[in-house]
Amino acid sequence: MKKIIVLIAIFSGLFFTSSCENELDLDNPNALTVDQYWKTESDAQAGVNSIYAMFYKDGLWARWIYFRLDLTSDEGFSNSPWTELADWTRFNYINYNFWEGQVVTWRDTYKAVFRCNQVLANVPNITFQNEDDKKKIIAQAKFFRALHYYYAAILWENIPIVLTPSTPADLPEQKNVTEVFAQVEKDLNEAFADLPSSWPADQTGRPDKGAAKAFLAKVYMQQHKWTDAKTALEYLISGPGARYNLVANYRDNFTDVNENNKESVFEIQFGDQKNGGTDEGQSAAVSSNRAQFFAPRGIGWSDGQARFWLVNAFKQEKNKDGNLDTRLRYTLYYPQLQADFGDKVYGKNWEWGNDEAWFRKGSRDYYRNNEDYFSQVNYRLVRYADILLRYAEVLNELGNTQDAYQYVDLVRARVNMNTLAVAHPEIGNDHDKFLERLKTERVLELAGESVRWEDLKRWGDLNTQASVDKIALRDPDFKNFVVGKNQRLPIPQIEVENNPNLKQHDEY
Amino acid sequence: MKTKFTQILKQRYYLLFFFSLLVQQTYAQQQITISGKVASVTGEPIPFANVVIKNTKNGAVTDFDGRYKITAASNQTLIFSSQGYKTIEIAINNATTIDASLPEDATKLDEIVVVGYGSQQKKDLTGAVSLVKAEEIQKRQVTTVADGLQGLVTGVKVRGGGRPGQEANIEIRGLKNLQSTNPLYVIDGLVTSANRDFNPNDIETIQVLKDASAAAIYGSRAANGVIIITTKKGKKGPLKVEASAKSSFTSMPRYDLMGTEEFAKFNNQAYDNAGAPRQNLNMAVDTDWQDVVFQNGMINDYNVSVSGGGDNSSFFMSGNYFGNKGTVVGTDFDRISFRVNSSGSKGIFSIGENIAISNSKTDEMSGNPIIDVYRLTPTIPVYDAANPGGYGYGKQGVADTFGTNPLALADFANTINENFRIRGNIWSELKFTPWLKYRFNFGYETSFDSYNFMRKLGNWTLNQPPEKSFINQNKGRSETLLYENTLTFKKAFGKHDFTVLVGQTFQKDNYNQIYGTKRNLLVNSGTGKYYDVLDLGDSPEVGGFRNEAALTSYLGRLEYNYDNRYLINAVIRRDGSSRFSDDNKWGNFPSVSAGWRINNESFFKSEFIKDLKLRASYGELGSGNIGNYEYKSFINTFGTVVLGNGQGLYPAATQVRLSNAQLRWEKLKQTNFGLDLGVLNNDLRFTADYFVARTEDVLFGFPILLTTGNDGGNPISNAATVENKGLELELAYSKKINDFSFNASVNFTKVNNKLVSLGNGQNQNIQDNTITRAGNAVGMWYVLQTDGLFQNQAEINNYKNADGKVIMPNAQPGDIRFKDVNGDGQITNEDKDIVGSPWPEFEMGLNAGAEYKGFDFSMNWIASHGATVYNGFRSVVDRFDDNSNYRRGIQPWTPENPNTDFPRIVKGTTLNSRGDTDRFLESGDFIRLKYIGLGYNIPDSVLKSAGISRARLTLSAQNVITISKYKGLDPEFSNPNIFQRGVDNGAFPNLQTYSFGVEFSF
């Protein structure tokens, strides 16, 4: 009996040693929780930095947004063997849930907005040594929220606006495009107040006051608010922010040898230090894939090509020395590139079609013969040449065509072209003729720089069948364009189905 | 006078003497000694069998060789019996040598069933438990236990494939949640998985617990059912050695694809119809990609076991080698395993251990050659020196395809996995009294995993961007510790028989991994060998992580048996898990079941019905197969951004993934009604079960709106409700007539699955071509519907909706006509509709076997009816908008050939090439001969001289007959995605296997 009692005692002991209910509270040894974060200045700094990381994701400025802006416009097209991908550049929208077509861009836009909202909600509660630093961080978040909503409004028009950090069950309401632009203006104006005029050298790439004004100009101009746009642009041209100039070498805007130069107003910083993909892992890339997707067949995926009418547009007018516009050389790969300028295509002779062309801006052919997914060439989202041409447009719209000439001439002079008055005396002070000429000037200067789609929308060229037909002469994809429908993308169907506050555009 | 009396007296004396003699005859008529051997029908001697003289208590026991000696009267009868065998009687009839051959007891009513923390006799079961004979699994050549269970158990659906190292998926009684269908495996009391590291030859018993009452003892993890496996233990007697060797040839089913000549004809036609210039096809090349990639495979399975024991101890050791050279180039699987099970007892104390060590190595399949063989065209050569790496693939304008060359992929991107695992437990028991027992069990499992991936220089597809060579290696270690204390009380008070169990368990799982990557590997330029050590190369990347989880439980069970007529079983289990937030950690899981043995009732008098039992049960089980930290929100600190004139890297951190803090257990409520019937002396047995299983608060990461900016996986929430109802029937017959014995069984399973509601305000979820909508089964087909072909322009012009609008104005003759389901006059995504279900209406199994003298035969058939499946193969090769090879003998529509159902072929996007239509949905019905085998036991006479006690030769084949209209490789394909179970997108098929084996016992 004694034995039994002893044994019971021993085993009861074991009983209790192995029942540890505290063991059920396990912390994740791999990451901090949200409650444990947003406490220090460096938390805030890392938090706002993460917004910049969205530029490296494939839905946005690493890859697919170029398809929506450059290839859908009349500057580009796609002949990709991936038929659905190509269809989405010619208004053939069959499956509104096509991931690479638009859904990933939609998702990444709101992912960026979520990061901005996290900063805006959490950083105000952190104590800073210097309040200005806190304001700068908040201002950056507002700037980027405005930037992403701006492009989303250009693409889809009536989208939901999310201004607070998300929870899983959120069902945000759809807003009209005018309300979206209003939110963009508000964020940019508030950001402008607290952003610095310039950043120290080791922070280059962050938006400054000038960048905020530049985007304000863009959003005002899209809404035809010419006076407001004029004020915004003047900050950069003649106001306190006037520190820009055109670089002598046109190509310096498209390579990595002279990045963040004096012409740069807002530039997306890319690097090649990381070898991973567009995920959120520790080796996630910090690069652009655009060149890989836009390089000619056999060199890259060749999913995007340039329309041949661009070549002809460049060849309409010679420069002061009687030679071809040097901008043609650095904008396009085309059959006579070697004959005209002596350049091969990534070291190869022309082996493609007689009427084919590819975008050259952003390529790294100046030191290598191929592309990959890790291009470090920064993308100049806004540069001073764009500002100057916009100012000319605004002045023309406000009835001051005469004053507009000088700004166009600055841009032309950089590449040794004659002044407008000399080359095109027939324009005179005619608003319409000036605008027509300005459209061409913008093409010659900014082809392939993702401004054409908003330009066409702004000019109303997508609003009438007559003007669409004219575009179709240059870009046959526009034969599929349905006026009143295809100037905006369909809302991703899966969002419409799962959000009762979101409706598909009627015409879709 | 004296003489007469004496004479009478003498007469009586003689009578007396006569009677006494008679009497003596009756009591000890003629005592003879009988000896003989008791063996099974297969000739195996049965030691310790009982030989009893009928109507007496006298008897003997056979020795180690099955021999006995007994003294009895020659007019008596001997009764031979042994556990697991049928009892037979043989009259002595003056014979001095009587050998008994005992047939196996197929009905096994007295068989012990392991039910978790204890065991019950089969006749006392109140829940739905199925027993599987270990030999049924071991006779097949399988990698895992799951592979061998197809068609053997009602309510259990298994789908697997023949890739080396592939593990089959088991689904018990339908889909009860939206995470996975994996049941819980318990091996010798340790909660683990019977994955490809486990040697099926070691199985002694295997039982499947299907309903709530049977599984409730495992509470929170048992909602998908429990499979309990016990491994072989030694038996008392001299050393017993068993060895077996089996070799199998496996062969791959093939597609019927075109050769270059036929391919060129159709490819050109497609380009012509699109108005596009023809490709410059290389007509000199005619590659049969299936010949290049597929080969005959070979499986070898060698097993040796040694066992024995004494009065108070036993041991069992086994060693096994399993090698599978795959049917796809560059794949194979090897496993070596070793097991020791031993136990001993002294007085009230007993102790034992079961431990298995295994090492397995897999050369994994790179990419998916099953798809590549039809994506590549026959005009592409296997090797092409012009390509980096030297392999052939697509070329723009010549063979425009992004298909990948499988040989190149296997060469340049190869993965090797190696796994060393120790799995086992130590237990000790204290029997305080004959009716009170305490048991302590410590279970331990640890696995050392090694993953090795090498990317060599070289391309495998068109336009591939150049990539530096790199290696990625990781080493992980997982560990599970299990502590269990249980106290069992078992006593009968008259007709009341109680068994009470109380217990407490604690389980801790942890996993940690470190990994490293290096690029630009060193290559020996002479031999081409790549150096794969992390010391060499540049651009290092390292990382590591840890995962932990813990589970604490308290359990209790009561089994009450009144007079062998009324059976009641009640279980309660309380589990707490670290996976849920503080408020939601604990769950209680009760269940109750009852059984009524009608045949034991006094009012039941039927000679025909031997056994009749009714069962009913209700229970609540939990499940929670989610990650270890799902309810918390984390900050991702991996990000970096480029800033500054120096383009340097700066850290970034943000929340990437949203989560739900209020995660809790899923609750499964299951009701089961069952009937067990045995007639004809239990030769014919019938079992029926009807169940309703409803799971609430189902955990799932439904896609949330993209406007939340969520990434990294959908946040999990408890929202959905899923219901499964089903009917299981089984009919089994066995009979022995002299030397011939025969058994057959048929089983039938019907499961109806329904998603009752999704929760979270959503009413449907669409994934590719499937829709999961409230009120329907999970994963219904949601596609456009076709309605024949347009034969001419008039038909196109006349195809209008109710408003007179021409529905498909851009169509041409030969194009598919689609149904305008919503009547709006155009074909859009709005015209998609639910058109079918991937769930079978019912599945059946037919198993039969026979034995005669030394020969035995068995076969297993399975059948499935009612499922609609999506033929991914046809959805690629029948489309023509992307280049690929095509099916041999297709007859596309042309003006000269209008009588066909294959539309006009065009290289381009037309509605003809859409994959989300019912054109690619096919019937998934099939009947398959899963296994057929013949065995021969070499007679004793031959073996005696060699000292071998048993030798058996086997010849068998698996998957050799398939009756099905399905045009893909295998209608029994496996798709582990629970929403897309019916999609065959390059699933690795089950292989035809031909095996030859020998077994020896010494």
What kind and span of H or E run contains B356? strand B349-363
pLDDT at B109: 52
Q: Any CB–CB contact under 8 A between B635 and chain A?
A: yes
Q: Indicate the length of chain A as a whole number.
A: 508
Structure confidence by residue, pLDDT tens digits, B386-396 = 999 999 999 88
Chain A contact set for B457 (CB, 8 A): none
- Contact call for B550 and A370, based on CB within 8 A: no
Residue B371: is its pLDDT beyond 70? Answer: yes
3-class DSSP state for residue B744?
strand
Q: Which residues pair with A336 in a beta bridge?
A: none
Chain A contact set for B883 (CB, 8 A): 81
Size of interface A-B (CB pairs under 8 A): 262
Q: How far apart are CA A251 and CA A264, in angstroms?
A: 13
| Residue from the list A23, A274, A282 with its beta carbon closest to the beta carbon of B508 | A23
Q: What is the dihedral of CA B83, B88, B93, B94, to 10 degrees?
A: -20
- Contact call for B703 and A113, based on CB within 8 A: no
- B882 against B771, higher pLDDT: B771
CA distance B459 to chain A (A): 13
Q: How far apart are CA B39 and CA B102, in angstroms?
A: 6
| Residue from the list A28, A168, A274 with its beta carbon closest to the beta carbon of B717 | A168
Residue A279: is its pLDDT beyond 70? Answer: yes
CA distance B80 to chain A (A): 41
Chain B contact set for A162 (CB, 8 A): 707-709
B922-936 in b/e burial notation, b at 16+ Cβ within 10 A? bebbbbbbbbbbebe
- B25 against B76, higher pLDDT: B76
| Residue from the list B637, B647, B655 with its beta carbon closest to the beta carbon of A118 | B655
Residue B21: is its pLDDT beyond 50? Answer: no
Q: How far apart are CA B988 and CA B216, in angstroms?
A: 35
Residue A196: is its pLDDT beyond 50? Answer: yes
Under 8 Å CB-to-CB from B347, ≥6 apart: which residues? none
Q: What one-character DSSP code corresponds to residue A100?
A: I
Under 8 Å CB-to-CB from B605, ≥6 apart: which residues? none
Q: Any CB–CB contact under 8 A between B581 and chain A?
A: no
Which residue does chain A place closest to B701, by CA atoms?
Answer: A168
- Contact call for A166 and B646, based on CB within 8 A: no
- Contact call for B709 and A371, based on CB within 8 A: no
Q: Is the ipTM of this complex over 0.90?
A: yes
Residue B810's pLDDT band, with cuts at 50, 70 and 90, is confident
Chain A contact set for B400 (CB, 8 A): 81
Question: Measuring CA to CA, which residue among B846, B848, B856, B847 is closest to residue B740?
Answer: B856
Q: Any CB–CB contact under 8 A between B717 and chain A?
A: yes
pLDDT at B27: 46
CA-based torsion, A213, A215, A219, A221: positive or negative:
positive
Mean of the pLDDT values across residues B645-651?
94
Chain A contact set for B443 (CB, 8 A): none
> Mean pLDDT of all residues in chain A?
93
Residue A8's pLDDT band, with cuts at 50, 70 and 90, is low
Could you write out the DSSP letters of every residue in A347-416? TB---S-TT-BEE-TT--TTT-S---S-B-PPEEEEEHHHHHHHHHHHHHHTT-HHHHHHHHHHHHHHTT
pLDDT at B868: 96
The strand pair at B332-346 and B349-363 is best described as antiparallel
- Contact call for A284 and B638, based on CB within 8 A: yes
Residue A168: is its pLDDT beyond 90? Answer: no
Mean of the pLDDT values across residues A246-261?
95
Q: What residue has token string 């995007």?
A: A304
Question: Measuring CA to CA, which residue among B472, B349, B456 is closest to residue B411?
Answer: B456
Between residues 464 and 503 of chain B, which touch chain A (CB distance below 8 Å)?
Answer: 465-467, 483, 485
Judged by average pLDDT, the poorest of A503-507, B12-16, B78-82 is B12-16
- Contact call for B552 and A21, based on CB within 8 A: yes
| Residue from the list A47, A492, A493 with its beta carbon closest to the beta carbon of B654 | A47
> Mean pLDDT of all residues in chain B?
89
- B14 against B139, higher pLDDT: B139
Which residue does chain A place closest to B702, by CA atoms?
Answer: A168
Strands annotated E in B203-346: 203-209, 226-231, 237-251, 297-309, 313-325, 332-346
Residue B72: is its pLDDT beyond 60? Answer: yes
Mean of the pLDDT values across residues A382-391?
96
Two tokens at B317?
A: 């050791």
- Contact call for A269 and B643, based on CB within 8 A: yes
pLDDT at A412: 96
Distances (CA, A) of B817 to A27, B517, B834, B882, B897: 58, 53, 18, 21, 17
3-class DSSP state for residue A488?
coil
Residue A148: is its pLDDT beyond 60? Answer: yes
Share of chain A above pLDDT 90, in %: 86
Which residue does chain A place closest to B650, by CA atoms?
Answer: A49
- Contact call for A84 and B909, based on CB within 8 A: yes
Residue B42's pLDDT band, with cuts at 50, 70 and 90, is low
pLDDT at B24: 43
3-class DSSP state for residue A269?
coil
Residue A1's pLDDT band, with cuts at 50, 70 and 90, is low
- B884 against B946, higher pLDDT: B884
Share of chain B above pLDDT 90, in %: 59
pLDDT at B83: 64
Residue B534: is its pLDDT beyond 80? Answer: yes
pLDDT at A7: 56
pLDDT at B217: 84
Chain A contact set for B552 (CB, 8 A): 19-21, 23-24
Two tokens at B734?
A: 């066995």
| Residue from the list B552, B654, B659 with its beta carbon closest to the beta carbon of A50 | B654
Chain B contact set for A280 (CB, 8 A): 636, 638-639, 656, 711-712
Tell me the one-letter amino acid at B970: D
CA distance B145 to chain A (A): 32
Q: Any CB–CB contact under 8 A between B830 and chain A?
A: no
Residue A4's pLDDT band, with cuts at 50, 70 and 90, is low
Mean of the pLDDT values across residues B709-716?
90
pLDDT at A262: 95
Chain A contact set for B402 (CB, 8 A): 81-82
CA distance B336 to chain A (A): 34
pLDDT at B353: 95
- Contact call for A49 and B650, based on CB within 8 A: yes
Q: Any CB–CB contact under 8 A between B177 and chain A?
A: no
Two tokens at B901?
A: 């159902």
Q: Any CB–CB contact under 8 A between B636 and chain A?
A: yes
Structure confidence by residue, pLDDT tens digits, B947-964 = 888 899 999 999 999 999
Residue A319's pLDDT band, with cuts at 50, 70 and 90, is very high
Residue B661: is its pLDDT beyond 90? Answer: no
pLDDT at B539: 87
Residue B445: is its pLDDT beyond 80? Answer: yes
Residue B26: is its pLDDT beyond 90? Answer: no
Structure confidence by residue, pLDDT tens digits, B470-520 = 999 999 999 999 999 999 999 888 889 899 999 999 999 999 999 999 999
Q: What one-character DSSP code corresponds to residue B66?
A: S
pLDDT at B474: 94
| Residue from the list B465, B550, B916 with its beta carbon closest to the beta carbon of A26 | B550
Under 8 Å CB-to-CB from B135, ≥6 apart: which residues? none
| Residue from the list A114, A169, A259 with its beta carbon closest to the beta carbon of B760 | A169
- Contact call for A7 and B659, based on CB within 8 A: no
Chain A contact set for B707 (CB, 8 A): 110, 160, 162, 166, 170, 172, 495, 499
- B147 against B450, higher pLDDT: B450
Residue B98's pLDDT band, with cuts at 50, 70 and 90, is confident
Between residues 642 and 701 of chain B, which touch chain A (CB distance below 8 Å)?
Answer: 642-656, 658-660
Residue B107: is its pLDDT beyond 80? Answer: no
Between residues 389 and 428 of chain B, which touch chain A (CB distance below 8 Å)?
Answer: 396, 400-402
Share of chain B above pLDDT 70, in %: 95
pLDDT at B23: 42
Which residue does chain A place closest to B763, by CA atoms?
Answer: A498
CA distance B415 to chain A (A): 19
What kind and span of H or E run contains B597? strand B586-597
Structure confidence by residue, pLDDT tens digits, B258-311 = 999 999 999 999 999 888 899 999 999 999 999 999 999 999 999 999 999 988
pLDDT at B93: 83
Mean of the pLDDT values across residues B603-617?
87
Q: Indicate the length of chain B as a whole number.
A: 1002
Chain A contact set for B577 (CB, 8 A): 24
Radius of gyration, CA atoms only, chain B: 34
Chain A contact set for B629 (CB, 8 A): 26, 28
Judged by average pLDDT, the poorest of B583-597, B643-657, B676-690, B937-951 is B937-951
Mean of the pLDDT values across residues B831-859?
93
Tell me the one-letter amino acid at B862: I
Strands annotated E in B364-409: none
Residue B241: is its pLDDT beyond 60? Answer: yes
CA distance B209 to chain A (A): 27
Structure confidence by residue, pLDDT tens digits, A129-143 = 999 999 999 999 999
Residue A161's pLDDT band, with cuts at 50, 70 and 90, is very high
Which of the residues A40, A63, A89, A282 would you substitute to probe the B interface, choosing the one with the greatest number of B C-beta atoms within 10 Å?
A: A282
pLDDT at B22: 44
